[in-house]
Structure 1
Amino acid sequence: MSSRGSMARVSPFTGIRYDPARIDLADVLAPPYDVIGPELQGELYSRALQNIVRVELGKDYPGDAADGADRYSRARDHLRPWLDQGFLMRDPEPSLYLHRHSFQLPGERGLHSRLGCFASVEPVAHERREVLRHELTLSGPREDRIRLLQATRTQTSPVFLLYEECPEVSVTMQEQVGLAEPVGDAVTDGEFGPERHELWRVTDPAALASICDGLSNTHLYIADGHHRYETALRLHLPGVLALLAPLWDPGNVILPTHRLLPKSRLSADQLATNLSGLGWDVAVLAWSAIPSRLAELRPTHHAFGILDSGSQFVVGRRRQAESRPGAAAGLDVAVLDREIMEAQLGVVPKDSELGRLRYIRDPEELAAQARARAALGFLLNPTSVEEMVEVALAGEAMPQKSTYFFPKVPAGLVLMEAK
């Protein structure tokens, strides 16, 4: 697929940032709304009165809407005084904002980093095939983001976009971070250890032109933030706040999301017997050996770790041309959904809304719950960036909870008004 031609326009914008002279940035950043649970929400509320969680995902209270107040109106009413009192400040001219995100992967000690660029990106219709998605949106989260944006007229967390090979952009970005000290620097508690966020503001006309021209002439892939992008489309915004990073940067990590059935009509051993009869290989292993075995099998097999309170093993079958056409049909998560969850256990993705299917990221939490609750757990390999690209280029959608891009880009680093 050619990467040159007229594409979605990428532009600088007049950003809104926390004033480092008045605010410790580490106290006010928050993860994006869709990974904040009640416990983390409460913790973020307690860190600072100006924490962006009060806007990104405010609390609901009894009696909301009866008196005209709700979390959307409160989000608006937080932003305005933060600006008036100088906790937030508008930059004097349109800029790009470079973000270096340093982080640790689970089970590793070494640091990884990813350099990206905050910019305004023209939201173009999916039919134009310029900003490519790999999943469909749900009406509930989409309506939530629309109501928040209508109330605040401010974008607080970005869509995470990956750009095709564009070496001149990456070179310019690297040059710019070496020219000055960052305008923002914070160390926050990440999912797997401390994460550092460094932010540089770029105003040099030549650098702006180099980055924007390059990014405006290449395909962009939505890694994270499909509902935020869809919100910008629905509201006909001229630009959506986005963080753009190179598609093949090793700092782009996809983690797996594992599955748990709180109640299963089959035990692990019964399921193993059924799958063996259908040609799946079954190997009993120690729990500690299952992740490495899954990684070994990944290039040639669809493979899953399965466990309950009595058994644990790996099942696998060779990858082959799927009976169903399309790029998404051959994904591990699609095979699990189709051949095991639905065919053997009578479970479909919508059962997650009824509590019959749960999604868990931490393998140890999966094991603990499967053993303690007589539940059935499934350990997966991660989807690859290559598979995400293949599905996006085919214009298809992955099954629910196929990708978990890590680390998440926090809300609050830089905000953009929605005009």
Structure 2
Amino acid sequence: MARLFPFRALRYDSNRIPHMADVVTQPYDKISPEMQDRYYAASPYNLIRVILGRKFETDTEEGENVYTRAAATLKQWRNEGVLKQESEPALYGYAQTYDVPGRPGETRERRGFIALAQLHDYEEKVVYRHEQTFPKHKSDRLALFKATRAYCEQIYMLYSDPTFTAEKAIFDDKDGHVRKADLEIKDEYGVHHRVWKLTDPALIAKVLAAMEDKQLIIADGHHRYETSVGYMHERAKELGIDEKAAPKTDSGLPAPAFPEQAMMMTFVNMAAPGITILPTHRVVFGLKGFDAEHFFAQAHEYFTVTPIQNPSSKGPSEEAVLLEKLRTCDGVAFVAVTKDGSALLKPKTETVAPLLEGLSKRQQQLDVTQLHKVVLEKLLGLDETAVRAGDNVRYLREASEAIEQVRTGKANVAFLIKPVSLSQMRDISLNLEVMPQKSTDFYPKLLSGLAMYTLD
């Protein structure tokens, strides 16, 4: 049973922050050093100082460090009134209108809503994951969370409701027209974000009731979710509280039995249009003695290898040529890019089959699974532990950046892949399976700083 709750969000005071675009950010794991610098320069109240602050050589584990500074900053902003807590519990409608990357002229809108939800272990079959996580990311988020005692970012959660009950209640007025938003922001990618504050108890009750029987799938935020579940267990034991205790209803609306029992999420209906999944390309670096000719010779045993001629200076870009080759190839395929040339790799089904034994048919049909099992593990000798540790693999959204890293010698080889489909991700999740880490890139990302959930 999915339990959702309205909450009294901590939000930026619009009287103190006239330009909200100056203080919100992309999610922490999508922020490059250059973006971090830009956010620092945008405003002294930019949320970057809390979710991904600068580290200094003088930092110590027991003394001042990036986490203690984040907590002090959050406290200071609350004391100054830059951040204010809402006076009544609410849900927050959230819509994002965006141009689809790589598809000129195509615009989509993704709708959802922000609420709290009770945390569950995966074994309870209420919340489902779809990909592996990186241990070091979880330890970082746990340290930040313990210091700040606040959720400053939402995780992105999917559910399915062909009747669109929640969306109709949240976004439509009595005449069926979309309500006027309370907040509008355009981010650095040109995405138009709109937020609606919803405090009507009857509306809130209708939305919560509609979500009770839903299965929830994590789209983005596996690290934060798993960190929060672990912290919930820890705090329930410390407080002597049943972690599955029924919600409080003191105000007439449900609330978590204890603050750590829930976390902040954005819920998006898989039955609605507007969801976009982009590929996450793999860049392999640090391989001693890597030789492109030898690699392609080995690859011939498992793949049909079709060299791709470098484009002329007057024609389409290399990125465009390689992605078009990939897009027009049916079935599992990926493009390998080396300094000595590129090629399309299409697996020989019978030859790769032994390397995929033990995996379900769903897993075996995934491009990203075959890339990891056959190419990274078998051909390049990178075992799963090394890949998960991030020792030799980078994950990039932009194919142009992946190609550039190879061309400049920062990487040995890049692999451009197709995106996982929404139906593939859903089926993997609901059958209690997981894909390799960074298998999906949901676009656009949820802005951080629109609403926050504080435990104290």
When normalised by structure 2's length, the TM-score is: 0.83
Deviations 1:164-188 (A, max 9, x none): 1252112222315956432222112
Task: Quickly say closer, same or farther: Cα 1:148–1:91, change in 2 above 3 A.
Answer: same
Higher mean alpha-carbon deviation, 312-321 vs 87-96, is at 312-321
Q: What are structure 1's unaligned runs of at least 5 residues?
A: 1-6
**1:120 Cα deviation after fit:** 0.5
Task: Map 1:13-24; keep pairs closer than 5 Å.
Answer: 13-23=7-17, 24=19
**1:293 Cα deviation after fit:** 2.9
In structure 1, the partner of 2:237 is none
The match for 2:370 among 335, 344, 348 is 335
**8 A contact 1:269–1:311 mirrored in 2:** no
In structure 1, the partner of 2:251 is none
Q: Does 1:365 find its partner at 2:401?
A: yes
Q: What are structure 2's unaligned runs of at least 5 residues?
A: 233-259, 312-317
What is the one-letter code of the residue matched to 2:300? Answer: S
**1:318 Cα deviation after fit:** 6.2
Q: Percent identity?
A: 30
2-structure distance, mates of 1:11, 1:280: 53
What is the one-letter code of the residue matched to 2:169? Answer: T
Task: Quickly say closer, same or farther: Cα 1:385–1:126, change in 2 above 3 A.
Answer: same
The match for 1:238 among 256, 261, 286 is 261
1-structure distance, mates of 2:74, 2:272: 34
- Count of residues in correspondence between the two structures: 408
1-structure distance, mates of 2:222, 2:61: 31
Task: Quickly say closer, same or farther: Cα 1:350–1:120, change in 2 above 3 A.
Answer: same
Task: Quickly say closer, same or farther: Cα 1:208–1:49, change in 2 above 3 A.
Answer: same
Deviations 1:308-333 (A, max 9, x none): 22222212136687533323343211
What is the one-letter code of the residue matched to 1:323? Answer: E
In structure 1, the partner of 2:6 is 12
**8 A contact 1:347–1:357 mirrored in 2:** no
**1:347 Cα deviation after fit:** 2.4
Task: Quickly say closer, same or farther: Cα 1:354–1:29, change in 2 above 3 A.
Answer: closer
In structure 1, the partner of 2:76 is 81
**1:267 Cα deviation after fit:** 3.9
In structure 2, the partner of 1:182 is 181
Task: Map 1:176-325; keep pairs closer than 5 Å.
Answer: 178=177, 180-190=179-189, 194-236=190-232, 237-262=260-285, 265=289, 267-278=291-302, 280-285=304-309, 286=311, 287=318, 288-298=320-330, 301-317=331-347, 322-325=356-359
Higher mean alpha-carbon deviation, 93-102 vs 336-345, is at 336-345
In structure 1, the partner of 2:51 is 56
1-structure distance, mates of 2:390, 2:28: 22
Supply the RMSD in Å over aligned alpha carbons.
2.3
In structure 1, the partner of 2:127 is 131
Q: Does 1:406 find its partner at 2:443?
A: yes
**1:48 Cα deviation after fit:** 0.7
Task: Quickly say closer, same or farther: Cα 1:187–1:341, change in 2 above 3 A.
Answer: same
**8 A contact 1:272–1:282 mirrored in 2:** no
In structure 1, the partner of 2:95 is 100
**8 A contact 2:172–2:179 mirrored in 1:** no
**1:281 Cα deviation after fit:** 5.0
**8 A contact 1:262–1:357 mirrored in 2:** yes
Deviations 1:276-308 (A, max 9, x none): 34452525355433322322334xx21011122
In structure 1, the partner of 2:239 is none
2-structure distance, mates of 1:38, 1:277: 41
2-structure distance, mates of 1:25, 1:77: 22
**8 A contact 1:26–1:188 mirrored in 2:** yes
In structure 1, the partner of 2:248 is none
